[in-house]
A and B are shown apart, each in its own frame.
Chain A
Amino acid sequence: MSLPRIVLITVALTILVIYSIKLRRNAERISGNAIFKFVLGGLLLPLHPMLRSVDNHSLVIDGIATLSQYYSMVFVHLGALQLRQNKAYISITKNRLFLWVTAISVVMIGLIAIDGANFASFSDNEPFNPTLWYYLFYGINYGLIFTISLAILVTFNNETYTHSEAKKAIWWYLGPLCIVFLACGMGAMFINVLFSAAGNTTYKTNLNALYDLCKLLFAVAFGIFAILPLIPKALLNRLFRPIEQLIAKRISTHNRLIAQLHQTITPLVPGVRFDGTFRSRDDQLTEIADCWLMIWTHTDHTGYRSAAKKAQLLMELSHEKRVFTDFGLLEPPIMPSDEIRDSVSVAKHLTRVGLYA
């Protein structure tokens, strides 16, 4: 069994065990039915690689190996869905994903039956007979795994943990990261299957290696993603305290730089200042953006795309003691989408050239 597969199974089983323990400890009504799904998924999970590694391939062995892979994922998805929806019972047989997987599984078993024992794992570089059925089988196989993995990921995503900055950052980065790893891995395999079907096997080993790497990274990222909600709140807060402090420090630095930029830029366009005072960071950001809008109607913006150039322009305008009271004729550009980063970068450049003490 390959390392990514071992890591994947270990991570998945660990998550399932922790989820089951947590549910039992809470002694909730929900627990029995959800645990049943997790246990079922956990039992089926190692079956696929075990059966794949046997030397004797037959319709029964390949069929069970294939189905165990799909159904283990579906059961985990259903368990997580039940937790997410806080329901005492979710029917397995009435679930849409389960029904879809069952329907496609029938097709997969049919493909295995048509092509006999020709289902050596495509991703393990084993020798196989390159028939249409073989490629069709693996094309559908990776599509199905991608769909179920995505469903699990979406189900595990829990937005109730977003109040803390550090946790928010973890959720915001880990969720999309998991999707990126998943998409890269599955994309590599689809290309691999297509290339191989077209007779080009030059990149097969490399694409398989990329798939294994993505699988490994996905397992690690998803592991952290799924385990986070299970860690007790007190421990989680203690774990995140250093990150919280770093983020708070960063926000405070940003606020200081934005305030400094606001103080530098608003004298150039005094009309934007509301009451001559600034009240919140949003007010400052709005007034900074309004100032840039005004400046760009007088100055061709094309030469001032970088933060350094913008800082230089502000320095020059400040030294010339320019004041804009009426807008010019030039069309302003699209304003930066990340205004905080843009303002902070300009302010940092102004600090570097010594405008701020």
Chain B
Amino acid sequence: MGFSRQDLSPTVTHSLRRLLHELGGTFSHEHLRGYIERWRGKPLRLEEDTMPPGMTGYAIALRDCDLIATRRGLTKTQKKITQLHEMAHFINGDLPLYSHGEATAGYRQFLRQQQRHNDVTSRQRFFDTFDDMVERNAETLARILANIITAHAQNESLVLSDLLEGD
């Protein structure tokens, strides 16, 4: 995979240990989403949104749901990694239950705001983002999660084929 234990920060190691305990060695994207929803006690919406140049995705903890939005028109891999990056923020505990405390908007109210991209946790790749430890941890976790999900899909397919094709 390319990561060694020494590369991982305590935050990422802690998140991975929790995931291993809760979901096992490999898991699907849906399992991961379900885990975040259970953990935070509200639905996690994955959507697309228009956003300023440079921003590929954002996450925000709203009153009635958590929202992850990716930029419209990304490539499949870019979208997958961006979603995982934002999910990693939730798993690492970077976002509180409500992003703006008592003033946090609900989903519908948030979408009506013109300037909604200003106060969100966003994945912007072009300001030496990865010098920021929080962003670096989220990106590290996202890339590990991508590998785990790929391995899960491959293993599942192998197990099924061995079971059903073995005659």
Binding site for B on A (CB under 8 A): 26, 160-163, 233, 269, 271-272, 274-275, 277, 279-280, 282-283, 285-286, 289-290, 293-294, 297, 324-337, 339
Contacts and interface: CB of A to CB of B under 8 A. Distances in A.
A314 B166 CA distance: 50
B78 A337 contact: no
A289 B165 CA distance: 38
9 contacts: A163-B158, A163-B160, A286-B77, A289-B78, A293-B54, A293-B125, A327-B53, A328-B53, A335-B78
Contact of B53 (A161, A233, A275, A297): A297
B111 interface: no
A138 B55 CA distance: 57
Nearest to A329: B53
Given A272-B126, A283-B81, A290-B78, 14 more contacts: A160-B160, A163-B157, A163-B160, A233-B165, A233-B166, A271-B126, A271-B129, A274-B140, A282-B77, A286-B78, A294-B125, A294-B126, A328-B53, A337-B75
Nearest to B158: A163
Interface stretch (B23-31, B39-47, B61-69, B143-151): B143-151
Given A160-B161, A163-B158, A286-B81, A271 B125 contact: yes
A335 B147 CA distance: 23
Contact of B1 (A160, A271, A279): A279
A333 B73 CA distance: 7
Interface string B1-16: 1110001000000000
A297 B53 CA distance: 7
Contacts of B72: 334
B78 A285 contact: yes
B35 interface: no
Nearest to B72: A334
Given A277-B2, A279-B2, A279-B3, A335 B74 contact: yes
Contact of A330 (B53, B81, B128, B164): B53
Interface string B97-125: 00000000000000000000000000001
Contacts of B3: 279
A161 B161 CA distance: 6
Contact of A283 (B75, B127, B143): B143
Interface residues of B, number: 37
A347 B134 CA distance: 34
B75 A285 contact: yes
Given A233-B165, A282-B77, A339-B75, A271 B157 contact: no
A161 B147 CA distance: 23
Contacts of A326: 126-127
Interface of B: 1-3, 7, 53-54, 56, 72-78, 80-81, 125-130, 139-140, 143, 146-147, 150, 154, 157-158, 160-161, 164-167
A interface SS class = loop
B56 A339 contact: no
Nearest to A269: B126
Contacts of B167: 26, 233
Nearest to A160: B164
Given A279-B143, A282-B77, A286-B77, A294 B54 contact: yes
Nearest to B75: A339
A337 B76 contact: yes
B126 A325 contact: yes
Given A279-B143, A282-B150, A337-B76, A274 B165 contact: no
B148 to A, nearest CB: 12
Nearest to B143: A283
Given A161-B165, A277-B2, A290-B78, A297 B73 contact: no
Contacts of A325: 126
Contact of A336 (B2, B75, B125): B75
Contacts of B165: 160-161, 233
A289 B81 CA distance: 11
A334 to B, nearest CB: 3
A330 B53 CA distance: 7
A336 B73 CA distance: 8
A319 to B, nearest CB: 22
A328 B146 CA distance: 29
A334 B48 CA distance: 13
